[in-house]
Structure 1
C-alpha cells in the first residue's frame, strides 16, 4: 500500500483542573427561546415584505411542454410569477460539489424537465402566503410524462430511462478503493461471512423548515438575505455566482436554525428563490417551506443504500478483512458528490483491528428528491452495516457478541486505519465495561432466558461504534484522480472583545444557534480562559459581509474548532493584557502570572491587576502606556484544522481527514410481539467517549435526541416512493416519527479519553446517538427473534417487515 508522509502534531498539555469546561450548566441562550424571542425566520417581518410559494411537479419524470401563468398573474395580490425558464435567465445553476455538474445542471426551478415529484416549476410572489398559494392553482402546466426510474438497481440497467441524458448513464460515480492485501486476507481466512443489507431513506425533521428573507438594493445591485441555513461563509462566492453578482455584494445574515440535524447544511435553493424574487419585485420577499415542501423537495434526504458485504475472520474470531460493495440511491441530483462515503471511509473498520478493506461505491441517480446531510452523513449507515456483520460472524462462530468485539478492539493509539485516517485516542474496553454494568447485561440475559421459556421474545442489542469528528477539506476531493478544486482549508474564527468594564463579547462567524448550543459552549470556553461566569459572556453573530473565514457546523466539528479559535484569541488578549499589566505594576512581563481573572507578580499575590482594571486603562488612558500600545482590548483568531495530511496520488492512502475519533457503546433491551410485530423497549444504556466533556448536560441532550432519531430510523421513519415515483409519505400521518411515548429513558454514561491534539482534549459528540442507535436496535430485534430463526437485514424494522420475516421463517400467517 502506498503511504503518504504522516507527521503527527505536537501533543498538547491539558489542564489537570478546570473551572468551567466539564461543568453542566444551563444554556445561556435558553431564556430568549423559552420566552418566544428566539428570532426565527417565521418571526422576521420587514416593511413591505412579500411572500413566495412554489408550484411543485406532480410527475416524477416529465418534459415541461408549456406553462401558462396569465391567470395567476391577474390574481389578487400577486406581484410576480416566475417560471423555470425565466428563473434560468435571472439566475445561474446552484452550487454543486458532485461529479460532472455540467452534465446534470441543478437550478432553483426546473427548466425543461422535472425529475421527481415535488420539483419546483414556478414561483408566485404575493402580498401573503395564502394569496400566493391560491395563485399557484391558476398556473396551467402541460407535461409530457416520461417513464420514471425508482429502483436504484434497475436504474443501472443499460435500457433504464435516463434521469440526465447528457450523463449517458444513471451511475454518476463508480469507484473501488482498496487498502491492504484484501485478496490475500480472504484466501487465508478460516471463515468468510457474507450478507446483503438494505438501509432505506429517511431525513431530519426540523421544527422550522428552511427559509430565507431577502432584500435587494438596486443602488448597489447587492442583496441582504436572512436565512436559517448553515455553512455559507466559506462558499459564499458560489451562492453569489448563482445570483449573478460579485461575492462582495451578498450579505448573509444567520438566523437560528430551528432544528437542522444536517438537513439545513448549505441549503441554497430557498435563498436563491427569495433573492431572485426580491430583485424582480423591488420588495423584500420571504420564502419559507411548508412541511410538504420540506419533505418532498428539501434536497436533504438521508442515505438510501444496498450493501453486498464479505467479512474474513480467523477461527478464533479475529476479523482480518472486509469487502464492501454499496449502491447508493442519490435521487435526481448529487449536490455533495459521494461525501457520505467519505464519512464512512473515515471509520470504515469501526473500533476493530481490521487489516485490509475494499470499498466500492456506486452513486445512482433516480427520480427522487436528492440526498443531502442527515445526522451522521452516511457514517451511521456504515456503523449499522459493520455491526450487522460482526453480529452475524459471532453467531456463525458461536461467540458471545461481547467477546467478539473485545477480541478485535484497537488498543494502541494513535492508530492509523487502512484508509490512512487516524484514530487519535480511545479506551474501548472501558466504554464496553461501563455499558455492560450500566445496562445490567448479565441480568437481562437471565431475564431473556426466563422469558423464552414463557414464550416471550426479549432481545439484547450490543454494538460498539465510532463517531468521527472534525472533517478536513481533503475529504471533498480525494475521490478524484484529478480533482477540480483540491481545497485544504476548513477554518473557524472567533473575535473576543474586552470592553472598558472588563465584560467580554465573543463574535462568531458561521451561523446562529444550531444544535450544539454554541453560545453556551463558547461562553464556557471563554469563562475557562478568563475566570469569569459564562452567563456574563455575550455571544453574538456576524453577517457574512463582515465575517472572518469560517466553515460552520457539520461533521461534529464545531466545538473543537471554536475551542481552538477561542484559545487563540484569548492568548492574544492575555499577551497584550500582560504587557499592559507589567507597565502598570512596574514589573517584568516574565514575572507575571495569570490567576483568578488577572495578572499578579509571581510570589507577590497582593501586587496584581484584574482584567477589568487593565481593560479600562487600555480603553481610556492611552498615554499611560508606551507609544506602541494601541487602545482597546480586542483580538481575533482564525483557527485551521489541527491535524490533516494529504492523500497519496494513487489514492491507496487517503491521508488523515477525520482524526478525532469518538466512540460509544449502546445496549438496548427490547421485547418483540410476534403477533403484531411491535417492538417495545425495556431498557436502554448508552456510554459515549467524546474526549473531554465541555457541558455534560448539553451532551446528554445530544445523545438523547440523537438516539430518538436513531429509534425513528430503526423502527418508523422512511421516505417511501411507489413504483410510479410518487412520494407516498408527505405528512406525519404517513411518515411517523417517535414521540416521548416511543423513546425510553436512557441511562447515559461517559468515559473521557482526551484527544492529544485538540484544545482541552475535546472530540466531537453531536451525532453520536443516531450513529449508534439503529445498529443497536437492529441487533436487539435480531437477538429477540434468533430462536425463531429470523434475522432482519433491512431498516426500518416496521411491524409489517417483522411479520413478513416471521412468516418467511414459517411462523404465523
Structure 2
C-alpha cells in the first residue's frame, strides 16, 4: 500500500472562512496539541494516589465452560496481595453490568463470570496487590476448575442450534430477530426490470487507541463517596450504570474525566475497567488502579466491531433507476448484547444511502456465540451498512454496463427533495449531492485517470479505480436503542441525548466554558468549544478558557460518539451564550437608560443602534454585573453565569407497528471518495496510487481539525478494507493477540488524502453544523473494494468479503483460474 503522487486537475480553491462569521470556518491550530506533543498531558496511568493498589484480572482460557470451583487461597497469601475477588463472590456483592439487549435477565453480563465463562478471556477473578507485578504473579496462583463445553463459534449454525446454547436461560442463540418492511417492497420488486443479488461478509475488527482502557477507584468508607478516574467517553451513562452495579447512590459517585489517546468506540463506556477498579477500592478501602494491557484490550475489552453476513437484493430498472432494497443480515454479537441491536439502527438511519429508493425490507438476526461481545467501533454499524449498499450498487452497474459514477448520479436524491424521509422514516435534514460528486471527479481527474488506467493496463499492470457516494448520519437519537421492540416491551421510552455546558464571564469579561464530556479527543472539543464561544462573544479563541467537570454535581453529557459532539456543543454553547448576552443587554439598557430593543451587539459589546460612542464592552458590563449591584436592574442577580443543556435537534417517535421508525439521526452529511490502486497478481498486495475525498458536513467549525478526522477515519477504513481482522478457530480461541498478527495500517500504508469540501448547512442545528467524525471509515472500504474489483476484472474477481487481504486476493484469482 505504497504512496505515489499524481497531478490533479484544477480544483476549487480551499474553503474560505464564513463571511458572516469571525471564527467559525477558519482553520486554527488545536489548543490541545502543544500539551500533548510535549508529553505534558496527564493520562490515567500517570496518576498516583497515596496508598494506591494495582489490580490484575485472571481470565478464562476456555471459550465455553462451567466454573466448577475457584480456589484463591494461595493467591491471597502471596507477597503484596491485599485482596482477591472471585466471580461467585462478586456476584454476591455487586450487581450486573447494564445490558440494553432483549431479555437481559436471561444473559446476565457481569464484570466477572460467576458460574460459566462465555469466551476466551472473560474475567473470573481479580487480584489487588501493592504493585502490578505482584498482582499479575499472584493471579497465576488461583486454581480454577472448569467443565469444558462445546463452543458455539459459527453464527450461521448457531442460529439453528437449540442444543448447544451460549446462555441456556435464553433458550436460543438468536437473541433478537425481526423483519422490518418499509413501503410496498413486494410491488416494487415485482415491477422492477432487474434484481441484483449479492452475498457479503463484513469481518470482525476492533479499535486500537494509543492508550488502553483504564480507571482508578477511590472509595471513602467514612462518607460512602466513590471517586473514579476514568478515560471513558460517555460519562453520564457510565455513571448511571456503574452506580447500579456498585450499589452506590448515584449522588455519591463522581466520575472524573482524563485525556486519552483516542477511543474509536472502544471507550464508549469502559464498564469493566471502571467497575473493576471501583469495586476493589470499595473492598480494600484504598485507591485501586486497573489498566488493560494491549492483549486485554484487544481480546477481552468491552467490545469488538460488527461481524456480519449479508444477503442483499437491489431491484432496479434497465436504465439504472433504483426501486427497492432488501437486506438480510446475520450479526455475530459474541457472548453478550450490551447495546441491544442499536448498531443496526445506525444502518437503518441511512439504509438507502444518498439514493432515491422507495421501499426497503430489513431483516436482522442477532446471534450469540462464544466470542468477545461486539459493541461500538467507529461507524457503529453504518460502516458495514454503507459497504453492503455500495457493493450491490457496483454490481448493478457492472451488470448494466454503466459507469459506477454514472449509476450513482442517476439515483442521487435531488436538492429540492430535502428535508427527505427515507423508507425507514429517518429524516435527512439537507443535502446537495451532485456537486459533491462533480467536485470529487474533477479533483481526482476521473477521465484522466481512466485514460492512464488503460495505458498502464496495456503494460500488464492491474490498475483499478473505485468510487463511492455515501452518507454519514450524525447526532444519534435515543429511540434507536428501543424501537426494535414493541411498545409493550419498552418500560421507559428514552428520547434524550443531552449535552450540557456551563459558561461564565468574569469581572474583566474573560469567558470560561465548562464541559461535562471527556477532554482531548480527536474531535478537538476544547478547540471547538473555544471557537464557538469566541464567535458568540467576539473574542479571540485563545482568550477563552475551557475546563472539564466530573459527573457529580455536573450537567448531563452524552459525550462524543455517533458524530454528535460538535453539533451538540454548538447548540449548548449558543444557548448558554444567549442567556449571558440577554443579561448583558438588560444591564446595558438599564445603565444607558434605553430600551433593550434599541441596543445592538457590536464587536464584543452593546451599543445604541448607530451610536458607536455609546458602546459598553463586555468587560465594562461584567464589572457592573459583579461589583456594582446598584447599577443592575431590580431583581437582577450579581455575576454572569449560565448553564444550558442542549438536546436532540429533531427527534420524532416511531409508529407503534414500526412501519416508520421516526426521525432519530437527522443531521446527514454526504461524501464521495475516489481511489486508484494497483494490485499485484502474484502477492495480492494492494498499492494505493491516488485518493480523493470530498465531504459535505454542513458548516465546518475548524476545517483543519475536520480534515484530521477524515484522515484518521480513512486510515481505519484502509485497515478495515485490506488488513484488520479478529479471527477465531473452531474451539473459539482467538487467533490474533498482538500487532504481529492483527495488522493495523502504518504511516507507510495510509494514503495522502486530497481533500475537498462542499457545504450544505443544516437547517436544524446551531450554525448549520453536521457531524463528520466517522465519515472516512464509512467511505474507504467501499471505494477500495470497488477499485480492487476494477483492477482484477479480467479475472472476474469481486470483493465480497472484508478484509481483502493478500491471501484472499490470491485465492480469488486462483479460484477464477480454476
Same fold, judged at TM 0.5 (above): yes
The residue that corresponds to 1:162 in the other structure is: 165
1:580-619 equivalent positions in 2, closer than 5 A:
580-619=587-626
Deviation at 1:583, TM superposition (A): 2.1
Aligned partner of residue 430 in structure 2, secondary structure: coil
Aligned partner of residue 661 in structure 1, secondary structure: strand
Q: Are 1:496 and 1:504, in contact at CA under 8 Å, matched by a contact in 2? A: yes
The residue that corresponds to 2:198 in the other structure is: 195
1:293-442 equivalent positions in 2, closer than 5 A:
293-411=296-414, 412-442=417-447
CA–CA separation in structure 1 for the residues paired with 2:698 and 2:169: 48
CA–CA separation in structure 2 for the residues paired with 1:622 and 1:128: 56
The residue that corresponds to 1:7 in the other structure is: none
Deviations 1:775-805 (A, max 9, x none): 1111111111112211120000100000010
1:220-619 equivalent positions in 2, closer than 5 A:
220-234=223-237, 236-411=239-414, 412-481=417-486, 482=488, 483-619=490-626
CA–CA separation in structure 2 for the residues paired with 1:76 and 1:183: 70
Deviation at 1:72, TM superposition (A): 1.0
The residue that corresponds to 2:703 in the other structure is: 696
The residue that corresponds to 1:781 in the other structure is: 788
2:758 is matched with which residue: 751, 758, 768? 751
Q: Are 1:213 and 1:284, in contact at CA under 8 Å, matched by a contact in 2? A: yes
What is the number of equivalent residue pairs in this alignment? 798
1:172 is matched with which residue: 172, 175, 187? 175
Q: Are 1:125 and 1:132, in contact at CA under 8 Å, matched by a contact in 2? A: yes
Deviation at 1:542, TM superposition (A): 1.0
Q: Are 1:383 and 1:465, in contact at CA under 8 Å, matched by a contact in 2? A: yes
CA–CA separation in structure 2 for the residues paired with 1:23 and 1:270: 39
The residue that corresponds to 1:6 in the other structure is: none
CA–CA separation in structure 1 for the residues paired with 2:628 and 2:796: 81
The residue that corresponds to 2:6 in the other structure is: none
Which ranges in structure 2 are unaligned for 5 or more consecutive residues? Answer: 1-16
Aligned partner of residue 687 in structure 1, secondary structure: strand
Deviation at 1:623, TM superposition (A): 2.0
Q: Are 2:162 and 2:171, in contact at CA under 8 Å, matched by a contact in 1? A: no
> Aligned pair 1:120/2:123, yes or no?
yes
Deviation at 1:466, TM superposition (A): 0.5
Q: Kindly report the root-mean-square deviation, in angstroms, between the aligned alpha carbons of the 2 structures.
A: 1.1
Deviations 1:547-583 (A, max 9, x none): 1122111111111111011111111100100111122
> Aligned pair 1:74/2:77, yes or no?
yes
CA–CA separation in structure 2 for the residues paired with 1:504 and 1:31: 21
Deviation at 1:257, TM superposition (A): 2.9
> Aligned pair 1:674/2:681, yes or no?
yes
The residue that corresponds to 2:812 in the other structure is: 805
Aligned partner of residue 657 in structure 2, secondary structure: coil
1:671-750 equivalent positions in 2, closer than 5 A:
671-750=678-757
TM-score where L is the length of structure 1: 0.97
2:62 is matched with which residue: 44, 55, 59? 59
Q: Are 1:261 and 1:515, in contact at CA under 8 Å, matched by a contact in 2? A: no
> Aligned pair 1:23/2:26, yes or no?
yes
CA–CA separation in structure 2 for the residues paired with 1:485 and 1:779: 43
Deviation at 1:591, TM superposition (A): 1.0
Deviation at 1:616, TM superposition (A): 1.3
CA–CA separation in structure 2 for the residues paired with 1:439 and 1:323: 32
> Aligned pair 1:654/2:661, yes or no?
yes
TM-score where L is the length of structure 2: 0.96
Deviation at 1:140, TM superposition (A): 1.2
Q: Are 1:149 and 1:160, in contact at CA under 8 Å, matched by a contact in 2? A: no
The residue that corresponds to 2:10 in the other structure is: none
Deviations 1:581-614 (A, max 9, x none): 1222232221110010111111110111100111
CA–CA separation in structure 2 for the residues paired with 1:100 and 1:257: 34
CA–CA separation in structure 1 for the residues paired with 2:82 and 2:550: 29
Deviations 1:337-364 (A, max 9, x none): 1001000000000000000000000000
CA–CA separation in structure 1 for the residues paired with 2:550 and 2:386: 37
Which ranges in structure 1 are unaligned for 5 or more consecutive residues? Answer: 1-13
CA–CA separation in structure 1 for the residues paired with 2:372 and 2:461: 41
CA–CA separation in structure 1 for the residues paired with 2:782 and 2:129: 47
Deviations 1:442-485 (A, max 9, x none): 11111111122111100000000010001111111111113232
> Aligned pair 1:95/2:102, yes or no?
no
Deviations 1:22-56 (A, max 9, x none): 00000112222122222111111111100001011
Which stretch has the larger CA shift, 679-688 or 487-496? 487-496
CA–CA separation in structure 1 for the residues paired with 2:509 and 2:609: 22
1:794 is matched with which residue: 780, 785, 801? 801
Aligned partner of residue 289 in structure 2, secondary structure: strand
The residue that corresponds to 1:636 in the other structure is: 643
Deviation at 1:234, TM superposition (A): 4.2
Q: Are 1:209 and 1:291, in contact at CA under 8 Å, matched by a contact in 2? A: yes
CA–CA separation in structure 2 for the residues paired with 1:15 and 1:201: 41
Aligned partner of residue 330 in structure 1, secondary structure: strand
Aligned partner of residue 770 in structure 1, secondary structure: helix
